[in-house]
A and B are shown apart, each in its own frame.
Chain A
Amino acid sequence: MSAKETVVPTMPLSALHPGDQAILAGIHTDPALHQRLLALGFRSGKVVQVIRRASFGGPLQVRIGATDILLRITEAEQITVQQQ
């Protein structure tokens, strides 16, 4: 059990600030949402950018490729990223 830790630590997508870019590391949601996120372009290795966050802890707007997606913080907490 001496698997090496990855050098760059992962963090939840919800922790990014507007304007931050990161690389998608993993999706830890239930299978149905996982499928949906995959189809929306969430694949590990892809670059994701947080465009803005709504006031009072509202949803996030993120951009992957040419697609903009809104998701709540609860969903963003289940997605991990590595900051570049």
Chain B
Amino acid sequence: MKRIALLGMPNTGKSTLFNRITGGAARVGNWPGVTVELLSGKILLSGDMVEIIDLPGIYDLHGFSEDEQVVRHFLHDNVPDLAIVVLNATQIERQLSLLLQLKQLELNMVVLLNMADEAKKFGITIDAEKMAESLDLPIFLLSAKYGTGYAPALEAVTRALCYPTPGMAEHLRAQLEQDEHIESEMTRILRHAVQTPARLSDSRTDRIDRLLLHPWLGLPIFFGIMYLLFQGIFLLGQPLQGGVNEALGWLREAAVEPLLAPLPDLLRGLLLDGVYNGIATVAAFVPIIVLFFLFMATVEDTGYLSRAAFLMDVLMARMGLDGRSFVMLLMGFGCNVPALMGTRVMRSPGLRLLSMLVIPFSLCSARLQVFVFVSAALFSPQAAPLALFSLYLVSFAAAILTALLFKGRFPNNEPFVLELPPYRFPTARQMWLRGWHEVTHFLTRASKFIVAGVVLVWLLTHLPTSAAPASADSLAGIIGGWLHPLFAPLGINEQLTIALIFGFVAKEIVIGSLAVIYGLSGDALSAALGQQLDWVQAYSFMLFTLIYTPCLSALATLRSESRRAGFTLLTLGWSLALAWLVSFTFYQGARALGI
């Protein structure tokens, strides 16, 4: 099969173009010589299947960033049959250098000048024919966003694919170092074919930025936008989540239970309460994940994320983080999993790992459910919201403390130099494709993990078969008994200890497991908790729940995003230790004060 590589600088709309050409049917794959996964898709071009690979956006073929090395190694070890080079027509002045660098590799090339619509607005006129003549390459103007200019470009791609694949010169690197030659050629071609007005028109972006990046109003507006974002995710997501739960519950009663009825009790229980509930837990996450990424994609594609980074950078720099880490930390209040995945925009490994270390302290929506339930049971209606608010403060404090303690271990060697793109309005199709891609990615990875975890919890509470489910004689009860000496100094009793073990899998299970353990539900459970515990014990339990690790799927995400088992263990170990210390200090301190 012929192979086409998609190349270009960041912010050229390369990925939009890739999604448009492949229709979003992309898969993630590994390539020789390259350590990261790359997106690729197969399309039919005049009767032949062709594979298109979306290479990371790079500024410079000589560069030393991870992405630039990836591209260099990819081209070296997997010479494509054709390279499609995507350039941003509005920035043609500086993007031409990359094209000339690539041209020196003597690849089979087709050049696409994207964002032709935007260039026209800026008053930049590009004579594609003249440029093609001076470069001796086929060049086409198009707009990936609006899908114009495709037909002639794809025709040229088909034609170019008929040429034999060129061989790659071995001394690639040496050839790449002809900077001076490139510079003089750039000037020649620009003078010949491109006319740029002396001063770009005062665009809409400048006017919007004057408000959104205002020295005093910028930050309040930023927090306002973030607040609306969470409200949006919750308002829209929770009914959807409830809907999915109901639908799966109905399916269980209507189809799965009758179907499994002939099986022996133990196996049926395992499949229903273990496997089926496990899948249902994962499925309930999906609406939140979709919404989260739709909102994220909007914020990111409009260009506002770079603005948020601009506003928050100075504060985050003190903690060894940067503006982008703060945005992810806030996103973690919805769900830690996509926030961890969102750190991909960071290039420096130190910065990315430190961000991933602090994100799990964000009080996610699943933990919020536990806190709402427990604080309502133990605090007066006036005090409950205050207890809840204080937990949000603890969440921030834990993140700040962790960043300050570990910033030395994860030095952020990346200089903060970030391109600020003009505001753009993403199309619905762009957002849909993005959301869909993230969801499939999430499901394939997280599902195995959560299903396995839930099966394990079921086995722990139901074995040995002689014990009553979740009683002290069950395996979970026995483990709870072992761990009790560790949790007794925190004021956490054996029942709550078992719930914490379940909460390790997912915080959504905590209240449910307490219901199983106490054999009560709803108001009766609240009353039982209120009788058995005082507020100091309950708050200590909530502190531990907040800090001790988000859930198994967040851990799985940490593992797969960092690709480091050691780092995953560090995150787990540190959060457990911090949780224990904070709960211990609080509980013993309160008791010492006679509370």
Contacts and interface: CB of A to CB of B under 8 A. Distances in A.
B311 A41 contact: no
Interface string A33-72: 1011111110100000001101111110100011111111
Given A59-B323, A69-B420, 7 more contacts: A41-B94, A52-B215, A54-B215, A54-B311, A70-B313, A70-B417, A72-B416
A1 interface: no
A35 B60 contact: yes
A32 interface: yes
6 contacts: A35-B63, A36-B65, A55-B215, A69-B418, A72-B415, A75-B415
A61 B148 CA distance: 33
Contacts of B218: 54-55
Contacts of A43: 183
Given A41-B93, A52-B213, A66 B317 contact: no
A76 to B, nearest CB: 10
A33 B415 contact: yes
Interface in B288-341: 306, 309-311, 313-315, 317, 323
B94 A71 contact: no
Interface of B: 9, 59-60, 62-65, 90-91, 93-94, 97-98, 122, 124, 183, 196, 200, 209, 213, 215-216, 218-219, 306, 309-311, 313-315, 317, 323, 415-422
B306 A70 contact: yes
A29 B64 CA distance: 14
Contact of B310 (A66, A70, A75): A70
A70 B311 CA distance: 11
A35 B65 CA distance: 10
Contacts of B314: 54-59
Contacts of B94: 39-41, 65, 67
B415 A55 contact: no
B91 A37 contact: no
Given A67-B91, A75-B415, A75-B417, A39 B59 contact: yes
Contact of A40 (B59, B65, B183): B59
Q: Which 6 A-B pairs have the closest CB atoms?
A: A39-B59, A58-B314, A39-B60, A68-B420, A41-B94, A32-B64
A55 B98 CA distance: 35
A77 B493 CA distance: 58
Given A66-B93, A67-B91, A61 B417 contact: no
Contact of A39 (B98, B215, B313, B323): B98
Nearest to B11: A67
B587 to A, nearest CB: 38
Contacts of A69: 417-420
Given A61-B310, A61-B420, A70-B417, A55 B216 contact: yes
A70 B93 contact: no
A58 B418 CA distance: 13
Contacts of A61: 213, 310, 420
B176 to A, nearest CB: 11
Contacts of A57: 314
A52 B212 CA distance: 12
A25 B442 CA distance: 48
B508 to A, nearest CB: 39
B416 A59 contact: yes
B216 A66 contact: no
B100 to A, nearest CB: 12
A75 to B, nearest CB: 5
Contacts of A67: 91, 94, 419
B413 to A, nearest CB: 9
A39 B63 contact: yes
B317 A72 contact: yes
A41 B90 CA distance: 13
Best-surrounded residue of B91, B200, B313, B418 (most CB of chain A within 10 A): B418
Contacts of B419: 40, 67-70
Contacts of A31: 64
Contacts of A41: 91, 93-94
A41 to B, nearest CB: 4
Nearest to B306: A70
A70 B59 contact: no
Given A39-B59, A58-B313, A61-B310, A71 B415 contact: yes
Nearest to A43: B183
Contacts of A51: 209
A36 B417 CA distance: 9
Nearest to B62: A35
Determine which residue in A33, A35, A57 has the highest number of CB atoms from chain B within 10 A of its CB, and name it. Answer: A35
A24 to B, nearest CB: 13
Contacts of B313: 54, 58-59, 70, 72
